[in-house]
Amino acid sequence: MADYRVISSDNHVMEPPDLWTDRIDAKFRDRAPATRREEDGDGWYCDGLRITTGFGFGGSQTGRRFDAPEKLTAADLFENVRPGGYIPEEQVKDMDLDGVDMSILYPTLGLNLYKVPDTILLNAVFRTYNDWLAEFCNASPSRLKGIAMINLDDIGVAVAELERCRKMGLIGAMIPVYPPEDMRYDSLEYEPFWAASQDLVMPLALHAATNRYGSGEGDRTLNNRFSVTINFDHYVRMSITDMIFTGVFERYPTLQIGAVEHELSWAPHFLDRIDYNYSQRARGIAGYRFKNMMLPSDFFRRNVFLGFQEDALGIKLRDIIGVDTLQWGSDYPHQESTFPKSRQILEEILADCTEEEKAKIAGGNAARIYDLD
């Protein structure tokens, strides 16, 4: 795959323990995310809530799945985290080792911070992270591209933060994959935010594990249930359905929404179901009809992109899903990452694709969606 630019559309940083204790406004410091040394490792806490079990999943055991999977653990110490998780120059070195030309960066602890109930605290936590991430990316701006964290509890604040992050050079934003039940993504309250995202060319990511407090599963401060992890795509399907069927993509035709780290194989069945129910059930027939004979699946293929890691079955079904929606990511430096075998794994997964398809999936689609040079 040497002829193609390889963009990992889903790399991560590992937030250092002093990120918030050193940087956040003093009035929030006692409640901000911080680590505590425990018997089995370092644990993250925020506002009195235990948020994660530590660093085993997030970057201290990168590559161990290939060499010693029986030694994988959840708990671990920050001192064992791979330096590329928190030092930009080290991440670039690992990208060179892994054959990755550019990385689009998401948080690690930040995925779980959407569980924190307090709106004002969360806004301050996210602002602090976004400032740090912009600095991280500026160390190598041609190789590292950052995704902001946005809290949607207050839409006016969210729009202002989205605009600020765009000015700092971040290329997209992460919002809860599943919002509170009383403010699902079919709500008209989000209209100013969708408009801002479209106008700023800031794609929005629905990353796995980011359910907001008030959504049900997102209320759990520490969730070790495999039934949730294995079925993450349930939540993203619900949110995308709400957006499609309430006309969000009809009103905002260039808005881009990403289902990130949910893999691909769910999409063909989902596409069949949204079109069937739109055309064959009474509520769909009696209700609003999309302009220009558009079907729900047309909006999906135009406005939704899918981040995957190792879903070979999904690649076999790429013609049904739509090749232009697919973006590969390594999930570096997490426990399940393809590092340091990303090129090998990518070559195997894409073996049956045409050269044009390989170029799109390996990096071309991400470059187009994020308007990357």
Cα–Cα distance measured from residue 52 to residue 33, given in angstroms and rounded to the nearest whole number: 11
Cβ neighbours of residue 273 under 8 Å, at least 6 residues apart?
Answer: none
Cα–Cα distance measured from residue 165 to residue 187, given in angstroms and rounded to the nearest whole number: 24
Q: Where are the domains of the chain?
A: 7-13+89-369
Classify residue 1 by burial, with Cβ atoms within 10 Å: 0-12, 13-18, 19+.
middle
Q: Which pTM does this prediction carry?
A: 0.96
> DSSP letters along 200-215, please?
HT--EEEETT-PPTTS
* Pair 256, 204: CB distance under 8 Å: yes
Q: Among candidates 225, 151, 139, 226, which has minimal Cα distance to 193?
A: 151
Task: Give the tokens for residue 53.
Answer: 């079990």
Cβ neighbours of residue 18 under 8 Å, at least 6 residues apart?
Answer: none
Identify the three-state secondary structure at position 50.
strand
* Pair 103, 144: CB distance under 8 Å: yes
Cis bond upstream, residue 179 (ω within 30): no
CA distances to 1, 38, 146, 157 from 162, in Å: 35, 36, 13, 9
CB atoms within 10 A of CB 308: 25
pLDDT tens track, the chain, 373 positions: 557 899 999 999 999 999 999 999 999 999 999 999 988 788 999 999 988 867 878 888 999 999 999 988 888 899 999 999 999 999 999 999 999 999 999 999 999 999 999 999 999 999 999 999 999 999 999 999 999 999 999 999 999 999 999 999 999 999 999 999 999 999 999 999 999 999 999 999 999 999 999 887 656 554 556 777 788 899 999 999 999 999 999 999 999 999 999 999 999 999 999 999 999 886 655 577 899 999 999 999 999 999 999 999 999 999 999 999 999 999 999 999 999 999 999 999 999 999 999 999 999 999 999 999 7
Report pLDDT for 14: 96
Task: Give the tokens for residue 113.
Answer: 């911070």
Report pLDDT for 38: 87
Identify the three-state secondary structure at position 252.
coil
Report pLDDT for 171: 98
Report pLDDT for 217: 67
Q: Among candidates 102, 108, 193, which has minimal Cα distance to 140?
A: 102
Q: Among candidates 164, 195, 1, which has minimal Cα distance to 98?
A: 1
Report pLDDT for 130: 99
Q: Which amino acid is at 303?
A: N
Q: Which amino acid is at 311?
A: D
Q: Among candidates 326, 248, 256, which has minimal Cα distance to 294?
A: 248
Task: Give the tokens for residue 212.
Answer: 């907001």
Task: Give the tokens for residue 23.
Answer: 């940087």
CATH topology of domain 7-13+89-369: TIM Barrel (3.20.20)
CA distances to 99, 104, 114 from 107, in Å: 22, 10, 12
CA distances to 93, 102, 252, 268, 328 from 96, in Å: 5, 10, 38, 34, 17
Task: Give the tokens for residue 237.
Answer: 């399907």
